[in-house]
Structure 1
């Protein structure tokens, strides 16, 4: 067994096909920006009445998708799918879009395979080589991360295929950068269908990367105590990828609840782990959380009582992110719950939990945070 393999971890690989990404919401955002009379052109035509981050929610209606964009402070819809017009935001029309924690989205044309990074806030576009990935993998919850800001020559774009042992990576520096597909082996684990009968036996399969975050130029994944996976890219593009692990003990585990979801979040150069907790009696709602920061000198997680005045935003499927609080509450974690049309706000300082109803939002199983660039 590889030292990276989580001990006693039981997971179930999801095979459901998720809805298409955030194209409609981003297009609607640009339409509202252009129609606003109070436009700051230096800030890429973002309307003064709408501040980022904001939340986009989608609903599947067979062959079409209904998308709404919500302002979280006002708890109201500010743009709908009916506002989508390819002429307003041609760069993202008919593209598959994956968000990143740095405010850029990875956009790909399913027909031509043309691929680029795009900032909804600044409208900056960075062309990338064509990405020849299976389109279904992008719909099924692929993760996209940036090791640095795209303007940094050291920036690596990483794409993690869902429920497989493959990653795609691209270093932006160089005369002719190309996407590379890499198969990794980080050990095996037990998968269980949660059915206690002979028809659904547990099985052993390859461990896949699930939770992942970028921090200090490296990628950290699968924070199963007492280990934390590390993926490092060599200084020279021709060098091999370096998969490894570091000890990552985590005391103060005294929550008597089910850990429903774990996020790794980079915030101001520090790596945080957020555990969202559930009650076994109600697995449809988070009942609490615990937040830890990685002490790299002692290689252990340390529980924290604040977020340094910043705000964390999270949604199912994708990576969590940190941003300036702005009009949101500082030292709070915002968790989108699209199925119940709710937003849960966890105050890390005082431990309080507020559930905000999003009555104008559609019934949805997918939500994205639209983030400011460089957050």
Structure 2
């Protein structure tokens, strides 16, 4: 860091606690390597005055037992995957936790160890009988998955092959396999673009990978590199957000949003110039589209993203790009001076952000 029967009911377990983060969405920093001192800094983005370009932030410190005592990852659906440390000789308990309601969805016990570096995704809302929980290893082509609510369900390990990175022999004497590092779920399928094409990971119920030709956006004049985020609109729409850098530097030249149409035989995309009241929340750990920004106290028609290409220990800069006027609002360091992050900052999002 699943189906209709959702609330966990372990003997002696306390009832759901009040929402520890307050109103969502918030940006969360996990710091303190010692569990006894581990804590979370919560950064809330307040809508600035009309016409202003200053990012207004409210910062608080909280201790969240679900996150301090477990391995975890916040999924784009807003639910948090929790994996308890295993007791000697037993498989670890896993579950999905809703940080707003305190509700839990029990998952099968996990006998396999978690990868050293991993992310978790859901194919659907965890209340859906068709939901698949996917744990991706970041540094190798392997994954773990389970079907929520399946009778006799279990976690299954799976290795896949999507080819090797095309690098000169002097840089990679041995083949370096591609691995899926980010994905977004639409219609129960997981989409990814690590191979240059649009890949589709589908569970039927075993995992199958297929590809579609994908006419990606060209680099704008003056840019030689960039990064991108694949984002689903709560399982209904697919977007790719591009951040282009000036030349080969880390200076941001442009931000572009593309909607990917999956209705035809091959994907098509169009550049989006207006999000209305929607906003993208992007980080290295997770990414989501907030479908009613104003209802959650956030300015809409914007892309909020972390800019930490140099892996700075405080998580780097928070940037806000406005699609309305094409301007980048004032960048800020929400947690200046933090030097012991457990992981990169991530967004804690309402589970109903697009309902």
> TM above 0.5, one fold?
yes
Q: Does 1:277 align with 2:244?
A: yes
Contact in 1 for aligned 2:27/2:43 (Cα 8 Å):
yes
Distance of 1:191 and 1:132 partners within structure 2: 36
Contact in 2 for aligned 1:278/1:286 (Cα 8 Å):
yes
Q: How far has the Cα of 1:91 moved from its partner?
A: 4.5
Q: How far has the Cα of 1:311 moved from its partner?
A: 1.1
Cα–Cα, structure 1 residues 106 and 167, in superposed 2: closer, same or farther, change >3 Å? Answer: same
Distance of 1:125 and 1:177 partners within structure 2: 17
Structure 2 residue corresponding to 1:320, chosen from 280, 283, 287: 287
Contact in 1 for aligned 2:280/2:303 (Cα 8 Å):
yes
Q: Does 1:67 align with 2:58?
A: no
Give the match's secondary structure for 1:72: strand
Contact in 1 for aligned 2:287/2:347 (Cα 8 Å):
no
Give the match's secondary structure for 1:205: coil
Distance of 1:307 and 1:356 partners within structure 2: 21
Q: How far has the Cα of 1:223 moved from its partner?
A: 5.4
Distance of 1:360 and 1:189 partners within structure 2: 35
Distance of 1:202 and 1:274 partners within structure 2: 33
Give the match's secondary structure for 2:69: coil
Distance of 1:368 and 1:192 partners within structure 2: 34
Q: How far has the Cα of 1:202 moved from its partner?
A: 5.9
Structure 2 residue corresponding to 1:295, chosen from 239, 258, 261: 261
Aligned counterpart, 1:334: 304
TM-score, normalising length: structure 2: 0.78
Aligned counterpart, 1:55: 27
* Stretch of structure 1 that moved more, 337-346 or 267-276: 337-346
Contact in 2 for aligned 1:288/1:346 (Cα 8 Å):
no
Cα–Cα, structure 1 residues 69 and 175, in superposed 2: closer, same or farther, change >3 Å? Answer: same
Q: How far has the Cα of 1:327 moved from its partner?
A: 1.3
* CA root-mean-square deviation: 2.9
Identify unmatched segments of 5+ residues in structure 2: 2-14, 47-55
Aligned counterpart, 2:175: 204
* Stretch of structure 1 that moved more, 243-252 or 326-335: 243-252
Aligned counterpart, 2:8: none
Correspondence 1:146-225 to 2 at 5 A: 146-191=122-167, 200=171, 203-222=174-193, 225=196
Cα–Cα, structure 1 residues 241 and 58, in superposed 2: closer, same or farther, change >3 Å? Answer: closer
Correspondence 1:1-375 to 2 at 5 A: 21=1, 45-46=18-19, 50-59=22-31, 65=38, 67-73=40-46, 74-79=56-61, 83-84=62-63, 90-112=65-87, 113-135=92-114, 137-138=115-116, 140=117, 142-191=118-167, 200=171, 203-222=174-193, 225=196, 227-234=197-204, 237=205, 240-251=206-217, 253-267=219-233, 269-280=236-247, 282-283=249-250, 286-296=252-262, 297=264, 298-316=266-284, 318-323=285-290, 324-325=292-293, 326-337=296-307, 339=312, 341-358=316-333, 360-363=335-338, 366-375=344-353
Contact in 1 for aligned 2:144/2:157 (Cα 8 Å):
yes
* Stretch of structure 1 that moved more, 202-211 or 62-71: 62-71
Distance of 2:229 and 2:122 partners within structure 1: 16
Distance of 2:162 and 2:211 partners within structure 1: 10
Cα–Cα, structure 1 residues 91 and 359, in superposed 2: closer, same or farther, change >3 Å? Answer: closer
Distance of 2:26 and 2:119 partners within structure 1: 20
For each residue in 1:223-276, what CA deviation from the matched residue of structure 2 results, as whole angstroms up to 9, or x when unmatched? Answer: 554x20001111xx4xx3221011211355435324432211011511001112
Distance of 2:44 and 2:66 partners within structure 1: 23
